[in-house]
């Protein structure tokens, strides 16, 4: 099938849907939706998130140097969308949506209890890019709902019913993997007699 050319754009899709919590100088918690987020490093564990300077949380995060990246489940999709289109400058989205705030283990900024995963982050660097600034943050801790962890300690995010954002729409993640890292070169087990 032939391909059609487009002008340069951030066409990398799908991306995780994340609810970012932050606090202002008066301890008021705000939440907003981010799709431009990703893993940046494993040692130390770091993530990157691109935020427009006009966002209320931009100033909160820049001032405090921390935030929580909360991974929402499919049941929260309408709330996720609301947090992306409504500004914390005019509405308290935490109260409006009835989110339960829970303390973090490693930073002062709380996470959202309704989200199955909360990633506690400390900002290490802010890089101006243009329409967005890139926040590089070290992951100081991760909180995961107990029912997503098996007896061996393996985390099963496929059971969290997470969502992704792709070109203006939300999609659920597949509940079953179609492969795993290294499976293309894995040796087949021999059958014993």
The mean per-residue pLDDT over the stretch 150-174 comes to: 93
Task: Read off the tokens for 44.
Answer: 């130390």
The mean per-residue pLDDT over the stretch 182-187 comes to: 86
Between residues 30 and 188, which one has the greater pLDDT? 30
Indicate whether 11 pLDDT > 90.
no
What superfamily does domain 15-172 belong to in CATH? Electron Transport, Fmn-binding Protein; Chain A (2.30.110.10)
Delimit the domains of the chain by residue range: 15-172
Can you point out the beta strands (E) in the chain?
A: 15-16, 18-23, 29-34, 37-42, 45-51, 66-71, 101-102, 111-112, 117-128, 133-144, 163-166, 169-172
Percentage of the chain exceeding pLDDT 70: 97
DSSP string, 118-155: EEEEEEEEEEE-SSSEEEEEEEEEEEE-GGGB-TT--B
Convert the pLDDT of each residue in 51-73 to its tens digit. Answer: 999 999 999 999 999 999 999 99
Percentage of the chain exceeding pLDDT 90: 82
Q: What does the pLDDT read at residue 191?
A: 66
Indicate whether 193 pLDDT > 60.
no
């Amino acid at each position: 099938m032939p391909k059609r050319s487009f002008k340069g754009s951030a066409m990398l899709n799908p991306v995780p849907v994340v609810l970012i919590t932050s606090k202002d100088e008066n301890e008021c918690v705000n939440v907003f939706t981010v799709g431009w987020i990703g893993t940046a490093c494993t040692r130390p564990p770091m993530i990157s998130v691109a935020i427009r300077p006009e966002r209320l949380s931009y100033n909160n995060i820049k001032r405090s140097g921390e935030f929580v990246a909360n991974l929402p489940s499919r049941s929260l999709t309408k709330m996720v969308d609301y947090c992306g289109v409504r500004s914390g400058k005019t509405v308290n989205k935490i109260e409006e949506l009835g989110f339960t705030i829970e303390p973090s283990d490693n930073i002062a900024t709380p996470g959202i209890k309704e989200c199955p995963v909360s990633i506690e982050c400390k900002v290490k660097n802010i890089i101006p890019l243009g329409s967005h600034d890139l926040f590089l943050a070290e992951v100081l801790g991760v909180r995961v709902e107990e029912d997503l962890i098996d007896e061996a300690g393996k985390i099963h995010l496929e059971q969290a019913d997470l969502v992704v954002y792709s070109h203006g729409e939300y999609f659920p993640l597949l509940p079953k993997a179609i492969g795993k890292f290294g499976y293309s070169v894995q040796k087949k087990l021999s059958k014993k007699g």
